[in-house]
Structure 1
């Protein structure tokens, strides 16, 4: 099934956001957008108390009606939050005329932009969307992820961001993915999870100082047995391997659906289903492993017959 909405993070620094309405729905969207660095204007005759407080604090601007197409044209994102279906339809038409993205709250049929459920561990942010079809399911998934990710994980992500330039300067290019895999899956992350932040940071800095030389290269060849082309038949092990792979080998015309589970920037190599073509591709895959890469080989054959 194809996506009707493409998920993307928008840079909101100094962007203009217009919220139409002065009640509870508008307040909810204001709370959400105040997590960003956008410039927020609320179009309403009157503001409910929380919005009035934001105005008094200088965190939002207040514009009294009437709303115009020109106001929308100057905004990068518009929220219609009046709760009125007729007004929502009108605002959607105005947004179309001004070529501006609009979210009409609780009316997905009028939306050009959908608001996801958000797990905020800034700068780590997880967004869950259901294209308006199942918002309750989206919130349930959000709850599960909230429990899974420690509340201060964003601080570890921010630390890693501060280290990126030093890693680029010190760690050889062909070792960097392995280095970051170690940071987030091995000793540093485990130390951070138990509250030993300084130890976590120190482990990373020590490895940068020695150019990542003490990290064991975990290059390997993983076979994904796929006698059926369905991606939904993959095991958790298969998905994890596909997400970590540097190279993915697959049978042309048969395994394309499974490729959707692979890391987007993994190199992909197709082989034919004819006699001997799989063996040639497997030989190439083993060569990639010898160069220090993580390789996944998707095959219809029993992996026991290949290894």
Structure 2
């Protein structure tokens, strides 16, 4: 994070704007909208800009900029096409520790003006840290389309009842739970329907008779194979509702960072022969936090019910009569295969697919090998890197040809993805030359042949439009 997002109260505060053209006009509109008192200096000043300045209770100075103009100024914006002048303004502001923004020159800035979604009093700011203002504006457009104007009215309603709720609930956690129930229930829906008066009456009654449930709940959330964009809307919504987040080593840090900033984060990662927190202890932690009345998110890589031991966790929750929700995630087989250009099924190569764990409870590889060697079946091995020599040998021994294609995918769907393709007979030798690191996924079957044809985009030259 290059810049810490902050919201600043500019009401009746003097702010200096250096420049009198169209760019300065855009910045002046923003400053005036926030209630700033505008001080403007430039040789040539647009009439509308002059009017804005005077209406804000400020002053227009037609002439040269001087450092004396920084006296008692709260914020400075340099909006000129004079590079030397912009540098002078920036240096003077940095020397006096006055926040300064130099338009389209982030190196000279101590503050960045973001793209803004204004649903006052709800205000959302989007910034690229000055790297790509166009991208920030594109993101603003997307957000504006999904955030109705009624959210501003909802924020107004909540603000008008904050003191009443604070008086009703002494405990901050009770207040938070009350507002969560309110903002996700029929009161909010009344506001969205334009029935603000009805919503206010409902909220007043809810405060009088409110009995906030202190009961905890657990969300088993499939985080997908690694790429944060593969999270579902429901997964993100419940993750951001959680008071406590338990996550394992297969969950990407970018996904963990999507939880509430005040949520407690508990690492319960497990690796082969290195269980940082044993499964039974994880189960007990889920029960413990839920009985404390907390919303608990159990973030699991991939899908909770595909080799994720989610079934074991909800068994204990059910026994303790703790409410829970299970959110499916994109399993590693689907995500890694797609990002590698390998279809798991294909009419010409494979009519079925089988998911197998290469790491059983007793650390053995006692698998039904005779069922895994059908030539028109794709077999996907989870957690099979350590046992790969045995996997290759057993498949060959039970009738699968040594020339059967096999792919080993390292950290699929992430920027660290690496795909090694060989045959059952040659893969171990190939990995000796091109080693991979866990987590990995192994795909065995004729469909692997299609990678060379379907993953052409990995070598696509965007600049020249050629492979």
TM-score of the aligned structures, taking structure 2 as reference length: 0.59
Deviates more, 1:51-60 or 1:192-201: 51-60
Deviates more, 1:36-45 or 1:197-206: 36-45
- CA–CA distance in structure 1, aligned partners of residues 67 and 161 of structure 2: 45
Does residue 1:22 correspond to 2:20, yes or no?
A: yes
What does residue range 98-247 of structure 1 map to in structure 2 within 5 Å? Answer: 98-171=96-169, 173=171, 174-210=173-209, 212-213=210-211, 219-226=216-223, 231-247=228-244
Does residue 1:33 correspond to 2:31, yes or no?
A: yes
C-alpha offsets along residues 120-155 of structure 1, whole Å, 9 cap, x if unaligned?
111100111112222222222222222222224323
SS in 2 for 1:133: coil
SS in 2 for 1:223: strand
Shift of 1:200: 1.1
Deviates more, 1:135-144 or 1:272-281: 272-281
Deviates more, 1:237-246 or 1:71-80: 71-80
C-alpha offsets along residues 212-258 of structure 1, whole Å, 9 cap, x if unaligned?
22x66674201134585664553333222221001112347976543
SS in 2 for 1:269: strand
How many residues align structurally?
A: 303
Alignment equivalent of 2:52, drawn from 43, 51, 54: 54
- CA–CA distance in structure 2, aligned partners of residues 111 and 291 of structure 1: 46
- CA–CA distance in structure 2, aligned partners of residues 125 and 53 of structure 1: 26
- Matched-pair contact (CA < 8 Å) for 1:69–1:97: no
Deviates more, 1:79-88 or 1:63-72: 63-72
SS in 2 for 1:161: helix
Deviates more, 1:272-281 or 1:92-101: 272-281
Does residue 1:306 correspond to 2:305, yes or no?
A: no
Partner of 1:294: 295
- CA–CA distance in structure 1, aligned partners of residues 116 and 106 of structure 2: 18
SS in 1 for 2:158: helix
Q: 1:11 to 1:253 in 2, by over 3 A?
A: farther
Larger radius of gyration: 2
- CA–CA distance in structure 1, aligned partners of residues 100 and 232 of structure 2: 39
C-alpha offsets along residues 170-224 of structure 1, whole Å, 9 cap, x if unaligned?
13634322211122221011111111111111111110011x22x6667420113
What does residue range 3-14 of structure 1 map to in structure 2 within 5 Å? Answer: 3-14=1-12
Partner of 2:406: none
Shift of 1:72: 2.6
Give unpaired runs (5+ residues) of structure 1.
none
SS in 1 for 2:157: helix
- CA–CA distance in structure 1, aligned partners of residues 219 and 261 of structure 2: 18
Partner of 2:280: 279
Shift of 1:103: 1.3
State the Cα RMSD in Å. Answer: 2.6
- CA–CA distance in structure 2, aligned partners of residues 143 and 257 of structure 1: 23
Deviates more, 1:82-91 or 1:260-269: 82-91
SS in 2 for 1:297: strand
SS in 1 for 2:101: strand
Q: 1:222 to 1:58 in 2, by over 3 A?
A: closer
- CA–CA distance in structure 2, aligned partners of residues 204 and 75 of structure 1: 43
TM-score of the aligned structures, taking structure 1 as reference length: 0.87
SS in 1 for 2:163: helix
Does residue 1:266 correspond to 2:263, yes or no?
A: yes
- Matched-pair contact (CA < 8 Å) for 1:219–1:293: yes
Give unpaired runs (5+ residues) of structure 2.
302-307, 315-467
C-alpha offsets along residues 244-283 of structure 1, whole Å, 9 cap, x if unaligned?
0011123479765432111011122333632763321321
- Matched-pair contact (CA < 8 Å) for 1:231–1:261: no
- CA–CA distance in structure 1, aligned partners of residues 136 and 249 of structure 2: 35
- CA–CA distance in structure 2, aligned partners of residues 218 and 140 of structure 1: 41
